Amino acid sequence: MDTNLLILLVVAIVVVAAVVVVAFVRSRRTKPPVTPAPVTEVPEAGLRSRLARTRTALGDRLGGLLRSGSLDDAFWDELEEALIAADVGVATSSRVVAAVRKQKPEDGDQARGMLEEALIGQMSGRDRSIHLEGSPAVVLVVGVNGTGKTTSVAKIAGLLGERGTTTVLGAADTFRAAADEQLRTWAGRVGVEVVSGAPGSDPASVAFDAYRRAVADGADVVMVDTAGRLHSKANLMDELGKVARVLRREAGEIGEVLLVLDGTTGQNGIGQARSFTDAVGVTGIVITKLDGTARGGVAIAVEQELDVPVKYIGVGEGLHDLVPFEPRAFVEALLEP
């Protein structure tokens, strides 16, 4: 065989082999593009039905009070007790009831309207947007075990995708069995890429790799899912602090630190929130499982206690059941007949 022809054949074989290897590596690194499932806001009527437990516990009790026709001292005491029972918080409940009473409503209907406005007023003026400064912007998601953190990460990525924002997810929960698989399953439903590490690897290194992948891919956002950890364990909180430091070193800033709270824990979640805020500087709250609790008032209480805005609430298991928090729609869903 002619020498030149042999050389060309060898070169062709090498090139083909290289192409095959590159394609294989890419197929292992990323999944084929997936068309994101539509993520839409829950209609007001749907929100009412999804908050049925709190609505029943609070609304039914208020309904009986407001129909009593007597706005005496006992009425105001029972109104305050009803709010406290829904986990609105003692201080907030007392403040709201005092504000409504001061307006001297003439009947139950007026009292209901004033109560709605007073509760909404407690949550007004807060910035509930997701801050996505930087290229890529960084969102760190934290919380204790079992809050629905991993699924919330993918759902938020889906919401961002609906407005044309591209996201890379970092699977920095390297200790929980099947955490990576769970995140990849949800990520596939919304069409986003996941970067992960070996089981038991350093979460900070996964966060670093995810940020670098987002830079290389030209993604708009990198969102890092961290392992659930007890807020009382100092070593685990220190580890979380390391993840935050690595991201801040690479990106210059973290746009959002979102804390995911389980709504069924009610006021107990406030202690968790304080610890995470001290450790990593929480900038926004995500409250999940509000469809399964009568303690939905915790959304109001946590803002008042921590001065940190609730940005999303979870009212179901579907992709469209994590929704931006809107105080008026929330309060009306709980209180209006």
CATH superfamily assigned to domain 137-326:
P-loop containing nucleotide triphosphate hydrolases (3.40.50.300)
Q: How many CB atoms lie within 10 A of CB 43?
A: 10
pLDDT of residue 29: 36
Q: Which residues pair with 322 in a beta bridge?
A: 314
Three-state SS at 226: strand
**Alpha-helix runs per DSSP H in the chain:** 3-29, 44-50, 52-54, 60-66, 73-85, 90-102, 108-122, 149-162, 179-190, 203-217, 234-251, 268-280, 298-306, 327-335
What does the pLDDT look like over 91-106, one tens digit per residue?
A: 999 999 999 999 999 8
Q: Which amino acid is at 255?
A: G
Domain 44-122 grouped into CATH 3.30.420.240: no
- The parts of the chain modelled with pLDDT lower than 70 are 1-45, 69, 177, 229-234
177 burial class (0-12, 13-18, 19+ CB within 10 angstroms)? exposed
pLDDT of residue 259: 94
Q: Which amino acid is at 293?
A: T
pLDDT of residue 32: 30
Contacts of 309 (CB under 8 A, 6+ apart): 126, 127, 128, 284, 285, 303, 325
Q: How many degrees, rounded to 5, is the angle at CA 201 between CA 36 and CA 246?
A: 75
* Cβ atoms 224, 200 nearer than 8 A: no
Contacts of 126 (CB under 8 A, 6+ apart): 303, 309
Q: Where are the domains of the chain?
A: 44-122, 137-326
What does the pLDDT look like over 16-57, one tens digit per residue?
A: 444 443 343 333 333 333 333 344 445 455 888 888 888 887
pLDDT of residue 6: 52
pLDDT of residue 7: 54
Contacts of 65 (CB under 8 A, 6+ apart): 75, 78, 79, 82, 108
If phi > 0 it is left, if psi is from -120 to 50 it is alpha, else beta; for residue 155 that is alpha
